[in-house]
Amino acid sequence: MIRIQRVTHIYKKESTKQEVKALDNVSLEIREGEHIAVLGHNGCGKSTLAKHLNALLLPTAGTVEVDAVDTANEADLWTIRQMVGMVFQNPDNQLVATTVEEDVAFGPENMGMEPALIRQRVDEALALVGMSQFKDKGPHLLSGGQKQRVAIAGIIAMRPKYIVFDEPTAMLDPIGRKEVMDTMQRLNREEGITVINITHFMEEAVLADRVVVMDHGRIVLSGTPKEVFTQVDFLKQMQLDVPPIAELAALLHKEDTHIAADIMTIEEMVRELCP
């Protein structure tokens, strides 16, 4: 379990030397096996929050604990980073090596594993994301979605319990986006890995067990996708997108209260209207 307790993070802007409160007294518990989506605008603090989960940033006040280990504890830094993997937004800027398999091996190599074990982990990880046939290719020959899958494999090879995805699909086309989302869901459901997906795509948030909405460094809304997305007016006021089906459900509900207002997906809506 990751326990975030009353975390505040303040940093100084380089250009203006102004102090910015990126996180403001945030508390959140992430249970094992959960799939959480964190939503919000650029600058709402969601990426800052993400970087606290594996000690890339440390809280100015409050504590973050991963499996009861405080991230501020320097002696446990590498254990924490191994347990909490992170996939970043730009697929190009997180691949280090000149071939796919060498890149996937990077994390395990840093952990000082035996060569034979690394080999085994790399092969498994590549198979899991469906990139085995590209293992000898250079990263620059891959599509955006493929690069992201390699990045994910690089994390999986370290056998983390938690993976934080920091806007992993923001720079991808629809095909790449689907590749990454399918992989993310499979890891959560089949491998039991806890997924924390930082995103601003509502279609992705709908797939989560729990949705957390952030604004100005605070958590302003949290609940199941149904609970969150039925608050159409609140989300619109926050200038966040509402999933089109949820918006339609709200409109239909106003006209005819027999139609449920908490519908998120096309399948559910079809069942509701044509039983």
Partner 1 sequence: MSLEMNHVYYTYQEGSPAESHALQDICLNINEGEFLGIVGHTGSGKSTLIQHLNGLLKPSKGEVLIDDIDINRKDAKAQRKERRMRVGLVFQYPEYQLFEETVELDIGFGPRSMGLSEAEVTSRVQEAMALMQLDYNALRKQSPFDLSGGQKRKVAIAGVLAMKPKYLVLDEPTAGLDPMGREEFLELLGQLHQQGMTIIMVSHSMDDMARYAQRMIVMDHGKIQLEGTPREIFAQPVKLRELGLDVPTLTKLLLELKQRGLDVRTDLFEPQAVKAEIMRALKAGKEQVTC
Partner 2 sequence: MLKDITIGQYLPGSSFLHKLDPRTKIIAVAVYMISLFVVNNFWGLGAMLVLSLAIVLISRIPLRFFFRGIKAIVFIVLLTVILQMFMTPGEPLVELGFLKITKEGVHQAVFMGTRLVLLVSVTSILTLTTTPIALTDGIENLLKPFQKIGVPAHELAMMMTIALRFIPTLVEETDKIMKAQSARGADFESGNLLERAKAMIPLLVPLFLNAIKRADELALAMEARCYHGGDGRTRMKALQYSGRDAIAGVCCLCMAAGAFLTRFI
Task: Give me the residues that bind partner 1 (CB under 8 A), please.
Answer: 15-16, 41-43, 143-144, 170-171, 173-176, 200, 202, 239-241, 243-245, 247-248, 251-252, 255-256, 266, 269-270, 273-274
From the list partner 1, partner 2, none, which binds 270 (C-beta under 5 to 8 Å, kind-based)? partner 1
6, 73, 110, 236: which one contacts partner 2 (CB under 8 A)?
110
Nearer Cβ to partner 1, position 193 or 202?
202
Q: Which of 101, 167, 179, 204 binds partner 2 (CB under 8 A)?
A: 101
What does the alpha-carbon distance between residue 44 and residue 39 come to, in Å, rounded to a whole number?
Answer: 9
Q: Is the dihedral of CA 23, 40, 90, 163 positive or negative?
A: positive
- Using CA atoms, how far residue 274 sits from 230, 257, 269, 271, in Å, is 21, 16, 8, 5
Q: Is 114 in the site for partner 2 (CB under 8 A)?
A: yes
Please, what is the minimum distance in Å from the beta carbon of residue 166 to partner 2? 10
CB 179 within 8 A of CB 91: no
Residue 66 parent element (H or E): strand 61-66
Spatial CB neighbours of 47, under 8 Å, sequence gap ≥ 6: 166, 167, 198
Residue 78 interacting with partner 2 (CB under 8 A): yes
Helix (H) or strand (E) holding 218: strand 218-223
- Give min distance, CB of 259 to partner 2, in A: 46
**Cβ closest to partner 2, residue 23 vs residue 238:** 23
CB of 96 to partner 2, least distance (A): 6
Q: Which does 30 bind (CB under 5 to 8 A by kind): partner 2, partner 1, none?
A: none
Partner whose binding site includes residue 95, from partner 1, partner 2, none (CB under 5 to 8 Å by kind): partner 2
* 198 phi-psi bin (left φ>0, alpha ψ -120 to 50, beta other): beta
Look up residue 98 and give its DSSP letter.
S
Q: Tell whether residue 163 is a contact of partner 2 (CB under 8 A).
A: no
Binding segment (CB under 8 A) for partner 2, from list 153-161, 177-185, 205-213, 230-238? 153-161
20 close to 11: Cβ distance less than 8 angstroms: yes
- Tell me how far apart the alpha carbons of residues 139 and 150 are, in angstroms, rounded to a whole number: 9
Strands 35-39 and 210-215, by their bridges, are: parallel
* Residues in touch with partner 2 (CB under 8 A): 54, 56, 78, 81-82, 85-86, 88, 90, 92-99, 101-102, 105-115, 118-119, 122, 138-140, 154-155, 158
